[in-house]
Structure 1
Amino acid sequence: MFSIIDQSMGAYSSEIIKKFMALALKCCLDDPKERPTMLEVVRELENLCSQLPETEMSAPGTGTGTGSESDASNASPSLPLYSGRNSQPTNEIYGSELVSGVIPTIRPR
């Protein structure tokens, strides 16, 4: 599984890579009813991104994501992983159900 990952994308923990791949496979299931909804995909991606090192991500308006105190105070709260078809969207999500407000900062390598 790890042989297909482009090394120029950087180093990530094997646990995070496994979770990203599991989500990708769920999205490719033959039966559309078995696939996660877009809301569930967005939530899981946000959760996985929140587990990346602080230097890889930054919240909107926080600059470069250097791990400073202001970055930590403005970071998005952790969201639950995909929990199946029975999970219900809540009104606790800020704005649109599919717009999280988290904007990743991706630096060239």
Structure 2
Amino acid sequence: MEGNIFSIEIISQGKYESWEFKNEEARDELFNKILKRFNDHAIADKNDDVDDSRIVQLSATSLKIKEDGNVDQQVPYEWYEADQFEQLLEFINNEYPKY
């Protein structure tokens, strides 16, 4: 039975990229590095009526499958200006091999 899945994902205007990690600590370390690096481009106001075409969503997924088959999922996320997609992609692709 597959246990846990830890990943970072970015999605924007139908473009989607995802990176898997062997553990939560490695994923959190890179996620926090991304948050710091792109802090100036973060969109603080995450309200539901935002125009999706104007944002990149960065998320850190923790999917834990418990013994009883129940799933515990946590997905903290941040929003960034849509024009940051390529920069986020490049930054993550450059950093990911270290993890």
TM interval, short-chain normalised = under 0.3
TM-score, scaled to structure 2: 0.24
- Larger RCO, structure (CA 8 Å, separation 6 or more): 2
TM-score, scaled to structure 1: 0.23
